[in-house]
Each structure stands twice: as structure tokens, then as C-alpha cells.
Amino acid sequence: MAGVSQRERTTLRSLIFLNHATPQENQFTAWLAAKLSLAGYEVWCDFHRLRGGQDFWDVIEDVIRNKTFRFVAITSKVSQTKKGVQKELALAVTIENRITDFVIPVRIDDLKFDDLKISVLRKNVVDFYGNWQKGLLSLLTTLKEANTPASTSSPQKALPWLFSDDQMVVKLTNSAETLETNWFPIQSTPQVLNTVQLIGMVEPVKQTEANTKLPWFQHVNQLCSFASIAELQSNFHGTISTRSGAQVSTIDTVCANDLAPVFRIP
């Protein structure tokens, strides 16, 4: 890329490359990839991106040399012994001669800082050991300060890192969907709450498909509803014996957050 400035070289790059030991660090790497994807970053990691038949070293070298904006070196006792991990890191270090702070080392176990490889020893290491969330917040701050390219957050980008295609029972699609919810403010409250009294029983009444055609709740030996007493008795006709109960004024209603009424039954 002769004749191209450092700024131009970095703007042509968009990926966060996760350098890690397989399979020992796969769980952490998948978690980190999902979190970074959810934050809007485009993540590259070899255990998802390499396809059968590819010359993986050619692919990895091209990604690191030409497409990676920041190289996250996941560092542990295991990764420091892996030749493949160190090979990727060695290439990334050479690129750092042209792109400042290209390599971001992150520590995930109790590896002593004094034992870090010389290639990352002098750098500020993001520490995930003992607290992944704290390490993530620090890494996100580092990426933001570096103006790492990011797009809109999307769960669709995060889930594939946690589940392979054959594990995804529910497939996500990007389309309009009808929302059914009861989270609406109450515009007005009925003046009375009607009750019917249970005859010969005080056990909890089970809700069934048949008796939930109108809303109701049980309070000790009474069934309560905004429906009329006749409707309430009809709702349980043939299954539970009841007799007319009292009408409770909703003036005595206690409201929580002006949404969910809670009634005091005398």
C-alpha cells in the first residue's frame, strides 16, 4: 500500500481480529465476539470464518494485513505456548510499526504480567481475569477512543458467535412484527369491583381456558372482577358454586405507578 497514509490505511480497515488459542479459549472468545458484535463492531475469528478447503494461513494473513483495524491478542498461559497464536501476533506486531496501538492485549487468566511475551510486555494490557464485564467495559473504551468503525447494534450479529447454525432452533429475521402487549396506561377505572363468594371451599381456584374468558382474581374465599356479578357467576357455572358478594368502591383503590391497580377487599 505504498503512497497511502496511516489514516487512509486505518480507514480502509474495519475488523476487530480476535487472536486466541483453540479450543481452550473458544468459550471466552465466543462471548467476547458476541459482546463486541452487539456493540456494533465487526469481529473476525478463525473458528467461524474459515471454510473447508481454504488455505487458512493465506486467509488469516490477508485479514490481519489488509482488513483488521485492531488486533485483540487474547493472552493466557495457554496462548503463550501456541505457535499459531504467536505467529499471528508476530505479524500484527510488524503492522503496529505503521499503525499505532494496532495490538490490544487482553489477559484472561492468572498469567503474571512479568511473564508476558516481549511482544506485548511493554503495552497496556486490558485485564479480564476475575471480571469479564469490567474487562469488556475497558476494552470498549479503548476501541471507542481509537475511533474503531462501528455500525448499529444488532442481536442478529451477536447470536451466531454463541450458537452455530445447526444449534439455532429459532431463526431471526429482519422484518416488521405485530406487538401484542398489555403494557398500556389505564385511561379510566371502573367505579366498582364486583365479587362473588365461594361456597364450601377456600382452596385456590385454578385458572383454566374455560374460566379465563373474563379477567378475575381470587382473594381468600372471594372471586373478584370488574365484570358484573351475574357475568362472574356465569363464568364459573357448572364448575364452582358461588353466591353473590359485595361491590367494592374503586375510590379505595391503591394504584402502583398509575398502571396496576391493587384493591383492598373488606
Residues forming a β-bridge with 44: 17
The percent of residues in the chain predicted with pLDDT above 90, rounded, is 47
Of 12-16, 138-142, 216-220, 261-265, where does mean pLDDT reach its minimum? 261-265
pLDDT in tens, 249-260: 876 654 433 434
Tell which residue, 42, 40, 45, 33, has the closest CA to residue 14: 42
Among the candidates 146, 163, 180, a domain finishes at: 163
Same domain, 77 and 123: yes
Average pLDDT over residues 34-42: 92
Average pLDDT over residues 22-48: 88
Same domain, 155 and 68: yes
Same domain, 20 and 117: yes
Same domain, 56 and 95: yes
Same domain, 210 and 153: no
pLDDT band at 224 (very low <50, low <70, confident <90, very high): very high
pTM exceeding 0.75: no
Q: CB of 105 within 8 A of CB of 116?
A: yes
Same domain, 10 and 140: yes
C-alpha cell at 4: 497511502
CATH number at residue 90: 3.40.50.10140
Same domain, 231 and 111: no
Same domain, 212 and 99: no
DSSP state of 163: S
pLDDT in tens, 42-73: 999 876 554 444 468 888 999 999 999 999 99
pLDDT score of 163: 63
Q: Is residue 67 part of a domain?
A: yes
CA–CA gap between residue 85 and residue 77 (Å, rounded): 12
CA–CA gap between residue 11 and residue 66 (Å, rounded): 11
Determine the structural domain holding residue 257 and report its residue range: 192-262
Q: Is residue 48 part of a domain?
A: yes
pLDDT score of 169: 52
Higher per-residue pLDDT: 7 or 142: 142
pLDDT score of 79: 94
pLDDT score of 172: 60
